[in-house]
Structure 1
Amino acid sequence: MVPNGPQTDDGLVQLLTPTGQRTAHPDYDPRIAHLGADGLRALYRDMVLVRRFDNEATSLQRQGELALYAQCLGQEAAQIGSGRALAPQDQVFPSYREHGVAYTRGVDLADVLRLFRGIDHGGWDPTAYGFHLYTLVIGSHTLHATGYAMGLQRDGAVGTGDPARDSAVVTYFGDGSTSQGDVNEALVFAAVNNAPVVFFCQNNQWAISEPTSRQSRVPLADRGLGFGIPSVRVDGNDVLATYAVTAEALERARSGGGPTFIEAFTFRMGAHTTSDDPSRYRSAAEEEYWRQRDPIDRLRLYLEDCGELPQDYVDALAAEGDALGERIRTAVRAMGRPSAASMFEHVYATPHSVVESERQWFESYEASFLDAGQSREGSHR
Structure 2
Amino acid sequence: MRIKPEKKVKNIAFSSVKKKDYIVDDYVDLALLTKEFKFFFKNKNSSGNNTERLHYEDYKGLSNILVEYDRGRLHGLKTLSVKGRCENLKELMNAITCVPDMPVFENLEELYLYYLDDLKQLCVGELPPGTLCSLKLLDVVGCRNLGNVLLPSKLLQKLPNLEKLFCLGTKVEYVFGCEGFEPDQTNLREMDLWDLDAVRSICNGPAPRGMFQTLNDLVIDNCNFQGSLFTIDVAQCLFQLEQLFVSQCPFLERLIEARRESLNNNKTVLPNLKSLCLQYLPMLYKGSATIDFECPSLEILCIEDCPHLSFPSSASDHFHSRKQDLFNLGRITKWDFRLFAGNEGSDGQTVAEQSFRKNLPMLYRGSAKQTLFLLRCQRAITDVLLIPTAADHVYFLPFPI
* TM-score w.r.t. length of structure 1: 0.25
Structure (1 or 2) with the greater strand fraction = 2
Structure (1 or 2) with the greater helix fraction = 1
* TM-score w.r.t. length of structure 2: 0.24
> Relative contact order (C-alpha < 8 Å, sep 6+): which is higher?
1
